[in-house]
Every structure is written in structure tokens, then in C-alpha cells.
Amino acid sequence: MPIHVSLIHFLFISAILFSFGVYAVITRRNAIMVLMGIELILNSANINFIAFGRYGGVSLDGQMASIFVIILAACEAAVALAIVLNIYQQFNTVNVDEINALKE
């Protein structure tokens, strides 16, 4: 029986990927890992865009939005890594638990 791939499967995958991303963002101590979690979240959003674009019957808006997100994600990764690099230079660590200077 051929597996009929439908919108719900994509959304399901996307949700799982989002959850992994959120989990990574919440639990990882390493700032790099947190950034990677954010990438996962962004990608889950991309899957959603593309899925709605394919099955929603609405031109190519979804694909366009996801390409836009990828570009932004690249920019964001560049900026975020630069921040992390600076934090490392400042605190000598990239462990987010130890960087709590804003608390006081």
C-alpha cells in the first residue's frame, strides 16, 4: 500500500523538529548548541511554510517565505556567532548559565 503523504505528515514532522529545537534551546548549556536549537526551530517553520505552500493551493508564497527565512537564518547565525565569540572573549566561556551579568 503506497504511503499517501499528506499535509498532516509535514506538520507532524515540523512539530517534532520544533520540539527538538525548543528542547535544545532550553536544555543546552553551550551557546553554540542553543544557536543550533534556534536553527532547528527556524527550519521547522520553513517546513511549515513549504507544506502550506504545496498543499494550500496558493502560488509560491510559502517557498518564497522559507527562502527569506533561510537568508535571515544565515544572517542571524553570522551575527549570533559573532556575539558568542565576543562573549567568549569577555567571559572566557560560552556556557550560558555562567553569563548572568544582566541578573544583578
Partner 1 sequence: MTQELLLQLSTAILLLPLLSFLLLIFFGKRLPRQGDAIATSILGVALLTSLVILIAKLSLFHDELLDYTFTWVDFKNVAGIGPLKLDLGIMIDNVTAIMLVVVTMISFVVHLFSTAYMSGDVRYSRYFAYLGFFSFSMLGIVITNNFFLMYVFWELVGISSYLLIGHWYEKKSAADAGKKAFIVNRIGDVGMFIGINILWANFHTLTFDGVFSAMASGHIPFDSNPWLTAAGILIFCGAIGKSAQFPLHVWLPDAMEGPTPVSALIHAATMVAAGVYLVARVFPMMTADALVFIAYIGAITAFISATIAIAQNDIKKVLAYSTVSQLGYMVMGLGVGAYAAGFFHLVTHAAFKAGLFLGSGSVIHAMHYALHHQHDHQTDPQDIRNLGGLKNRMPITFWTFVIYTLAISGIPLTSGFLSKDEILAGTLAFGQLTGHTLIPITGFLVAGLTAFYMFRLVILTFMGEHKDATRVEHLHESPKPMTIPLVILACLCFFAFYSFNPIGASSGWFFHAVERPMSVVPNAVAAASVEVFEEALHHSHATAMYLSLTVAGLGILLAFATYYWKKVNAEAIAKAVAPVHSFLVNKWYFDELYQATAVAGTVGLSRVLGWFDNKVIDGAVNGVGSITKLTSFVSGKFDNIVVDGVVNFLAYLAGFFGLMFRKVQTGRVQTYIAFVLLGVMLLFFMYRGV
Please state the closest distance from residue 37 (CB atom) to partner 1, in A: 10
Question: Does residue 103 interact with partner 1 by CB under 8 A?
Answer: yes
Whether 43 contacts 51, CB under 8 Å: no
Please state the closest distance from residue 4 (CB atom) to partner 1, in A: 28
Residue that has been written with the C-alpha cell 511554510 in this structure: 49
Cα–Cα distance, 102 to 60 (Å, whole number)? 43
Q: Which amino acid is at 44?
A: S
Question: Does residue 34 interact with partner 1 by CB under 8 A?
Answer: yes
Positive or negative, the CA dihedral 87, 93, 95, 96 is negative
Q: Which range in 22-30, 55-63, 75-83, 85-93 contacts partner 1 by CB under 8 A?
A: 22-30
CA angle, 49 as apex, 48 and 53 as ends, to 5°? 115
Binding-residue pattern over the window 70 to 89 for partner 1, x denoting contact by CB under 8 A: --------------------
Chain residues in the site for partner 1 (CB under 8 A):
22, 25-28, 34, 96-97, 100, 102-103
